[in-house]
Amino acid sequence: MKKISFEIKLINHVWFWGIWFFLNFLRWGAYFNDYKYSFKSNLLEYALHIPFVYFNLLVLIPRYVLKSKYIKYTISLLASLAVVYLLKTVMTYYIISKNIWPEANRDYRPFEINHIVAVTIGEIYVLAIASSIYLMLTWLRERDRNKAIMENQNKIKLKYLKNQIQPHFFFNTLNNLYALSLESSDKVPDVIIKLSNLMEYVLYDINDTKFVPLIKEIDYMQNYVEIEKLRFENVEVAINLESDIDNIKVPPLLFISLLENAFKHGGANNEKLKIKINFRIVNSSLEFEIINNFVISPPLKTKKGIGLSNTKKRLKLIYKNNFIINQMIKFNFYIIKIQIPLDNED
């Protein structure tokens, strides 16, 4: 079990106790019209308040409360209150006044029930206020620390998912290049140049970048399409921009795996592969839609790729639940729609 540590800066503790002492000094000094007595009385009390509060915070709570030993905590707290009462009574008697409770309307002797209750309530009041503030500040620090840890973990996961796309894509492209080289095709130099451009984008342009301009992603997709067209003789790809996208940013490589899947699965046994990609703005969101035809040939056996699963994981990490992704089959067309908010920041 994690212990509470003394993590709040010392100067903040000094300010807290100093301001509280000053306010109580003014309050009781004005109430009794005796600022000298108020100063001495508060000085004595704070000499007991401060050790009592930190003993509770740094010893009793970690040792008992955080380990669910509530009975032991209660006994220890009561014992601490008894010690504080004894010390306060003795110190008041010998340092301040023979009357151990000058604020009362009559003289009180030590260990009278009213005096015990009054001192105990006063100590519990101080303990509750100081502990509440301390624990609240500690909780806020822990919350910020946990938030930073979660953000760092999400960055690692996103980087892993993005890196998972890159070797997957380049492996397929190199396979295509190998197939063309076996045919001694004169298309090989064009493929190498286009592949080099794609690698430059992946390795340098989007390195450690959370969002990139959508127009660059579209250029990347078009270069990919050109490579695939060298492999597929009969393919038709249309990318439609139905809205102004000049200032829109998206997570890098978010759509490419879905385009790759369209070629991979739509191109199997298909005499003419048709792929249509639409970008549009709908209700302050960017909608991406990709449609490809495919040949229905039961039993349909296709090797499961990482594209759609990877995309869903990245969307969840980046946008939490603030996104929509749908997939459907309509006749012999496979359709995927993604909707993401526009208000992202790099």
Distances (CA, A) of 103 to 31, 152, 258: 10, 57, 79
Contact 197, 182 (CB under 8 A): no
Pairing assessment for the beta strands 285-293 and 249-250 based on DSSP bridges = unpaired
Contact 138, 107 (CB under 8 A): no
Strand-by-strand arrangement of the 324-330 sheet = 235-241, 273-282, 285-293, 333-341, 324-330
Delineate the domains of the chain, giving CATH numbers in brackets. Answer: 10-146 (no CATH), 186-341 (3.30.565.10)
- In this predicted model, what pLDDT tens digit does every residue of 160-198 receive, in sequence order? 555 555 565 667 677 767 777 777 777 778 778 877 887
Contact 288, 338 (CB under 8 A): yes
Closest by Cα among 233, 223, 236 to 275: 236
The backbone region for 208, taken as left when phi is positive above 0, alpha when psi lies in -120 to 50, beta otherwise, is: left
φ/ψ of residue 273, rounded to 5: -90, 130
Question: Within 13 A of 75's CA, how many CA atoms are on the CB side?
Answer: 6
Is pTM beyond 0.75? Reply is no
Residue 317, classified by CB atoms within 10 Å of its CB into exposed (0-12), middle (13-18) or buried (19+), is middle
pLDDT at 117 over 80: yes
- In this predicted model, what pLDDT tens digit does every residue of 205-258 receive, in sequence order? 776 678 889 999 999 899 888 888 877 778 899 999 988 888 899 988 889 888
- In this predicted model, what pLDDT tens digit does every residue of 295-312 receive, in sequence order? 776 554 444 456 788 888
